[in-house]
Structure 1
Amino acid sequence: MENRQVNFGQLDAKTTDTLLLTFAELGLIYGNDWFVIPYSMKANTLCEVRVLVITNVFGERTLIRAADEGEENNWQRWSMFNLSNLNEFGSYNRQFFLPATITSTLESEPLEQVNYTRDEMTNMVWAVEEVIPDGNGKGISGYDAADRFGVEPPPIAASTANIRYVLGTTVPENWIPFLPVHQAGSNQSIQFRRAAMPKLGVPPTDVVRPKGLLLTEVRKRYYINEEEIPAAGTVVRRSYQRARWYNGRTYVWIGRYRETGRGQASSDLRFDQIEPIQPS
């Protein structure tokens, strides 16, 4: 039986709250299959349960094994709260780490904010630098710092044509492209790889490079798994965080936060276009 603090009627879940809906389903449907045994731990410590023996009222003792311990295939095994082993993909141990957490923090305005959005018309992902660092500990608008229009092509002299051919349009320089590529050894699974647009100008002499840390901390090939960018997109930002620990000391650091994006976007990137010539 739940105590009076449990009120499932107060669940306020939206369509994007997948984790909350999964937790509610676990509690409502599979709640009777679980037993909770409290165990106190200190912050920043590791714990490993090696043996669990249940003794019933008749004095019979039963050894309870871990849920993922058996002869099933790896893809059939199920577990929670395990730690992955370093440099061993798919391998983990049964140690549980209890990190030091805080209930609330003071957060500054974003130093940097990148909106990863899907563009289904071009079958790619755009990383839009909405806020970039200004070098003085603050953030400025990425749109204001970017060249959004470039250099207009020279007018066509001595021509009576009403239209002109455009090889390709441009996008603002704070729009960084990620192109889909096949994963190694697979013909179906894809991931997104950071690319670059030619720098606006006639003719282009360089490529547009990101100005923030989020898109430049990986110097060489920068990949993002396809499932990390849902249809609604995702927003990642960096900002100053300030909190007071239980001993009264104050800590300040730069943290990162991720949230659901604002839906798909269109860069208006087009090629082989016929446009009307505006009279001067």
Structure 2
Amino acid sequence: MIGPWDRVEGSSHDDELDSGVEARIADPLWMLARQWQVGELRGDDAGSPAVARLNWTSIPLRSYRPGGGPDEPMPTSSSLERMVEATAPPTYGAGALYWATRLAGQISRRLVRQGLDDAVDLLRGGFPLADDGTTVALRGAGTTAAALARGRGFDGAAVFSDSTRTTAALAPLPAERREQVDAVITRWRADVSARFGIPAADAWDEHRLEYQFSLTAATTPDASDPDVVLTADKYTGGHLDWYSFDIDPGRQRADQPTATPAAANDEADRSVAVLPTPVRYSGMPAPRWWAFEDGDVHFGDIAADPGDLGRLLLADYATGYGNDWFSVPLRLPIATLTRVTGVHVFDTMGRRVEVPCAALLDDRKPGRRAFRLYELTGDTSVADGQAPLLFVPPSLSGSEVGPALDRVEFVRDEAANLVWAVERLVEGPTGRSVDRLQQWRTSTPPESPPESPPGSPSGSPPARVSPVGRRGGAAAADAWRYRIEAAAPPYWIPFLPLRTGNGAQIRLRRARMQDWQLLDPAVVGARSELLRTDRPMSIDEEEVPRGGITVQRRWQAARWTDGSMQVWLQRSKRPGTGERSSGLRWDGLDDHLTS
């Protein structure tokens, strides 16, 4: 016996959905069936939404903590990217030379405009630029620019940071002129600090080559409830958004400063009435089955496998439920955590409908909710019977990125069983990058030709020596060459594995090659700000995958909401391009004629 059917569904073995959305003309029964399938024969005693009232709560961000440093008040005049990514000006190599001369040029122009030329001479004598041997420059224009900067310029970075030394250098000036110079230098320091992002503490983790920081939001003005802590432990640079953060549940810092009373615009509850609008997109079909459509309607390639849930939902929404979805705008302040506490819709029939939170409806079986949208990891709001939090970070919509100043590629060399840091680009004395390979080639003298055999005429070509063991050739001692070691290029810096403590954790520590002592000191070793050699450096072994990583340093510029120009030095980490071979090998026997 065949029981009653709940519904009739068609089955197709074709992945194309075109035939299902085509309005083919057949008999009247077929037309009625199509209207019944899309729900046009079902009458609903409902009205269209007219007004929607939204209630929400905003929690402002209170403090920012870079890495393991102290808490800082959350600024309102800077973007979050600049606050996190900004690094201190370079203090090593050619980058430090260019930064010092750049600042020196700025303060010199300001003093000359005010007729204080004698102060420039005093600063030049009190802040000389010495050659520390770490400058990378190409022979010719590069070395000339470095020598000119040291001879004609002075250390403007020291003038900016060391006020005591600056006062001592300007002591020979008369009191009145010294006051004028101090006023010019004070304004210049304020302008440099406002324009360039110079952080008090660095959020860059040198062991993981990533940014680590956290933000704190005060839940109540009197700090009676635990604060919400947002952590970002794996930010690699670029753009910050809500998905870059996780909530650390149940964490409240004991060293937080006393909370200040919230402003009037930061109060807890807010409410607004808005007009709902239908959800539409370009090329969407008409909401009625037999309505005339214009030429903009385009289904495109909507082929979908049975498991392609996203396309199936889009096709179902566009054809069957296009007039059932409405959106309501809600303008939220930046740098806040927001929770929508209620949505009430008033329709044209005069009824009031409360729209429940979809996350709470999906969590009727706790712990089995699989679909989450715009929710922060670690948010326990749904488990507590509340709507989830929505984070609106004070981030940029876009920025202008300059060319790479430093570029270091961390690669794995399986043949040598090493990790190398390959310095491709290093900032030069003119503020532009210098190719280390080109610098090595231009600084290495060409190999001298082999000497002519004794008794041969002067200027005659050297005698050709046949290799040992080759038929028809005479045996010679220098036909084959034994190499104890085939060295890697001098700008390939090795990182050796080193165990930390008694566990199995391994860190890669920067090392030196023994053959560097036989080469020109100007071309060997690390010279970039990313691999500066004035301090030890080690990175976690798991941070260098098989494909490698690339770390860069460059300038960025952007406009903030108040129209101010913000400039900062940014470091970023990106995936590498695969394994490399450095050419390092030992105990090799080379053919002298073919090697």
CA-CA distance at 1:146 after TM superposition: 2.4
Q: Name stretches of at least 5 consecutive residues in structure 2 with no aligned partner.
A: 1-55, 63-73, 75-214, 230-244, 257-334, 337-392, 454-474
Q: List 4+ stretches of structure 1 deviating above 4 A.
A: 48-52, 95-99, 147-159, 203-207
- Residue 47 of structure 1 corresponds to 217
Q: Is the 8 A contact 1:231 1:264 kept in 2?
A: yes
**Cα–Cα, structure 1 residues 269 and 150, in superposed 2: closer, same or farther, change >3 Å?**
farther
Taking the aligned partners of 1:143 and 1:271, their CA distance within structure 2 comes to 23
> What residue number does 1:58 align with?
none
Quick one: distance in 2 between partners of 1:134 and 1:205? 18
1:102-142: per-residue Cα shift (whole Å, max 9, x none)? Answer: 12110011011101111122221111111110122111212
How much does 1:151 deviate? 8.0
2:382 equivalent to 1:212: no
Q: Does 1:119 align with 2:138?
A: no
Quick one: which amino acid aligns to residue 135 of structure 1?
P
Partner residue, 1:106: 400
Could you list the per-position Cα deviations for residues 228-277 of structure 1 after superposition, in whole angstroms to 9, with x for gaps in the alignment? 11111111101110000000011111111111111111101001101111
Q: Structure 1 residues 230 and 156, CA, compared in 2 at 3 Å: closer, same or farther?
A: farther
- 1:167 alignment partner in structure 2: 484
Q: How far apart in 2 are the matches of 1:170 and 1:152?
A: 17
Query: For the structure 1 residues 256 and 156, does the alpha-carbon distance in structure 2 shift closer, same or farther, using more than 3 Å as the test?
Result: same
Offset of 1:154 from its aligned partner? Answer: 9.5
**Could you say what the CA RMSD is over the residues aligned between the two structures, in angstroms?**
3.8
The answer to whether the Cα contact below 8 Å between 1:182 and 1:191 also exists between their aligned partners in 2 is: yes
CA contact (8 A) 2:407 2:424 kept: yes
Question: Among 247, 251, 254, which residue is 1:81 paired with?
Answer: 247
Partner Cα distance (1:184, 1:152) in 2:
47
CA distance in 1, matches of 2:420, 2:557: 31
What is the aligned residue count?
208
Mapped contact 1:82–1:93 kept (Cα < 8 A): yes
Residue of structure 1 equivalent to 2:436: 142
CA distance in 2, matches of 1:279, 1:103: 57
Q: Paired residue for 1:250?
A: 565
Greater fraction of residues in strand: 1
Structure having the higher Rg = 2
Task: Give the counterpart letter for 1:195 in structure 2.
Answer: A
By percentage of residues, which structure has more helix?
2
Q: How far has the Cα of 1:184 moved from its partner?
A: 1.9
In 2, Cα distance between the equivalents of 1:251 and 1:228? Answer: 31
Shift in Å at residue 224 of structure 1?
0.5
Mapped to 2, the partners of 1:271 and 1:170 lie a distance apart of 9
Partner SS state of residue 403, structure 2: coil
> In the aligned structure 1, how far is the partner of 2:594 from the partner of 2:404?
44
Aligned residue for 1:143, secondary structure, equals helix
User: How far apart are the structure 2 equivalents of 1:164 and 1:246?
Assistant: 67
140-149 or 255-264, larger mean C-alpha shift: 140-149
Amino acid in the other structure paired with 1:81: I
Q: Which residue of 2 aligns with 1:190?
A: 506
Measured in 2, the distance between the counterparts of 1:225 and 1:81 equals: 25
CA change 1:93–1:221 in 2 (3 A) is farther
TM-score (norm 2): 0.31
Q: 2:581 aligns with which of 237, 243, 266?
A: 266
Say if 2:59 and 2:217, in contact at 8 Å, map to a contact too.
no
The equivalent of 1:28 in structure 2 is none
Q: Structure 1: which amino acid aligns with 2:579?
A: Q
* Equivalent position amino acid for 1:241 in 2: Q
Structure 1: gaps of 5 or more residues: 1-36, 53-65, 67-78, 84-91
Q: TM-score, normalised by structure 1?
A: 0.62
The sequence identity of aligned pairs, in percent, is 28
Q: Which residue of 2 aligns with 1:70?
A: none
Change (3 A) 1:150 1:165: farther
Distance in 2, matches of 1:139 and 1:270, equals 31
